[in-house]
Amino acid sequence: MKPNLSTRNCAASLAQVFTVGAVGLLAGCASYPESHVVSAPPPPPPTAAPATVYTTPVATTTVTPNGQTVAYPPSPVGASSVVVMQAPPQAQQEVPPPRPSRDHAWVPGYWTWRNSRYEWVSGQWQIPPAPGAVWVPPRWQPEGTSWRFYEGYWD
Rounded to the nearest 10 degrees, how much is the dihedral formed by the CA atoms of 70, 71, 76, 80?
Answer: 60
Please state, in angstroms and rounded to a whole number, the distance separating the CA atoms of residues 143 and 26: 71
Comparing 75 with 132, the larger pLDDT belongs to: 132
Q: How far apart are CA 120 and CA 93, in angstroms?
A: 11
Q: What is the pLDDT of residue 63?
A: 41
Domain ranges of the chain: 52-154
Q: What is the pLDDT of residue 17?
A: 58
pLDDT tens for 105-137 read: 999 999 999 999 999 999 999 999 999 999 999
Label residue 94 by pLDDT band (50, 70, 90): very high
Task: Report how far Cα 80 is from the mean position of its chain's Cα atoms.
Answer: 21
Render pLDDT for 12-70 as a digit per residue (tens, 0 to 9). Answer: 665 665 565 555 555 555 454 454 454 556 666 555 545 544 433 444 444 444 555 44
Task: Return the pLDDT at 82.
Answer: 87
